[in-house]
Amino acid sequence: MKHILVIHTGGTISMETDAENDTVNIGATNPLTKATEELHKLANLTVKEPLHKPSPHITINDMIKLKALIESECANGDIDGVVITHGTDTMEETAFFLDLTLDTDIPIIMTGAMRSSNESGSDGLYNFMAAIRTAVQEDSKGKGLLVVFNDEIHTAREVTKIHTTNASAFHSVTTGPIGTITNKAIHFHYAPLQQPKIKIIEITKKVGLVKAYAGMDASILNAYSELKYDGIVIEALGQGNLPPSVAEGIKKLLSENIPVVLVSRCFKGVVQDTYSYPGGGGELKKLGVIFCKGLNGQKARLKLLAALMHTSNIEVLRDQYFSN
């Protein structure tokens, strides 16, 4: 029987509904801790609960804490896989950060729930069991961190939360799920490309995230400059375009050696330097903006945070960390 490290961090999967007030909140204890006792037939489980908080309360330091815990527990080589339960609001960010910074081939699976533990139709225990089943599969090795939700398996790079309440809240919009789960088997459809790892011990940088909109000006970028941020990610329009009035703010940031990373606010497609009009991707690339292909804004921000712990040189960031 395989040895699986279970890490509970909180989230809806560990919460309960208060019927009187029609609200969901954190209880004194995590109901999954007791449920775990019924799951030992699937694997030999070691359970840790370093956090017990809703995912909007998760910080970058919490993510680093989880990374250190996984590395410490797996150091002696007797852990065959890891399952992390987590709130759904920031699940994709924690998943991506761990996938980016953990260098291991063992399966690391993250899951959660859209309905609290005592709610009718609760999906938490089912998703938890599916995650453990995935973690013990030999085929799960070497695929990076995987998110298991509603009988689907997604890569940390591609998955995103697309619905506020639906039990099928997580999708890989561009690629689709890497695998599916039935009551009898785990089925993988393809092997994903692995992203290069970035080694970090701590994060001391500040990176902002801005969403572009029609009529946007440079004022918010100027504010980030005054606040001494170390980098900015912009979710641009379409293929990577911005209103022309934003360009002056970008020039100011770049002149202060504050890197600007561009992604698209669209769910599908990549940014590229197609248009040469003022504010178009062609002009932005000439200014020195870094184009990040295939990541959404919140994931590009985490990647820039990690990369900035190694270098603030914009050309190095572009060529070594954002070239793929």
| Cα–Cα distance measured from residue 53 to residue 213, given in angstroms and rounded to the nearest whole number | 33
CB under 8 Å to 137, separation ≥6 — which residues?
Answer: 107, 186
Buried b (16+ CB within 10 A) or exposed e, 207-220: bbbbebeeebebee
- CA 11, CA 89: separation in Å to the nearest integer? 9
Q: Catalytic residue, from 12, 17, 36, 85: name it.
A: 12
Q: Is 12 a catalytic residue?
A: yes
CA 153 to chain CA centroid, Å, is: 14
Q: Are 86 and 71 in contact (CB under 8 A)?
A: no
| DSSP per-residue string spanning 247-306 | HHHHHHHHHTT--EEEEESSSSS-------STTSHHHHHHHTPEE--S--HHHHHHHHHH
Hey, which bits of the chain come out as E strands? 3-8, 15-18, 23-26, 44-48, 81-85, 108-111, 145-149, 152-155, 159-161, 170-172, 179-181, 186-188, 207-211, 231-236, 260-264, 290-291
Active site residue ranges:
12
